[in-house]
Amino acid sequence: MTYDQFQESLSLKIPPTGLPELIKALWYDAKGDWEAAHNIAQSAEGTRNYDRLHAYLHRVEGDTWNAGYWYKRAGSEVFNGSFDEERAYLFDFYPRNI
């Protein structure tokens, strides 16, 4: 799936079947369902990619202190672009073959 296809899938009511969990979380976030995305992030705390997702979600939430904690825990710098830019960055960063 390309990012353009991901963006097109946002017109659906449910995520496309077969999406890896991290991409599914980004889908929920893009649809405005922060809670569903956050539940996925919490499901594998301590895993770098999930912690990185967790950081992004707390940044979206406006909780900069908590976001900073999760960025540090993921070994990542705080992202300085827009939320849309960070979502696209994470989409490209996450593996899509699991």
Amino acid letter, 97 = N
Residue of 16, 67, 20, 65 whose CA lies nearest to 43? 20
Residue 95: per-residue pLDDT: 73
- Domain definitions of the chain by residue range: 18-93
Indicate the angle between helix axes 34-42 and 48-61, nearest 10 degrees.
150
How do residues 16-31 score in pLDDT, each as one tens digit? 999 999 999 999 999 9
Residue 23: per-residue pLDDT: 96
How do residues 54-93 score in pLDDT, each as one tens digit? 999 999 999 999 999 999 999 999 999 999 999 999 999 8
Q: Which residues touch 87 (CB under 8 Å, ≥6 apart)?
A: 26, 29, 30, 56
Residue 97: per-residue pLDDT: 52
Residue 96: per-residue pLDDT: 63
Residue 94: per-residue pLDDT: 85
**pLDDT of 46 above 80:** yes
Residue 98: per-residue pLDDT: 43
For the chain, the first-to-last Cα distance in angstroms comes to: 13
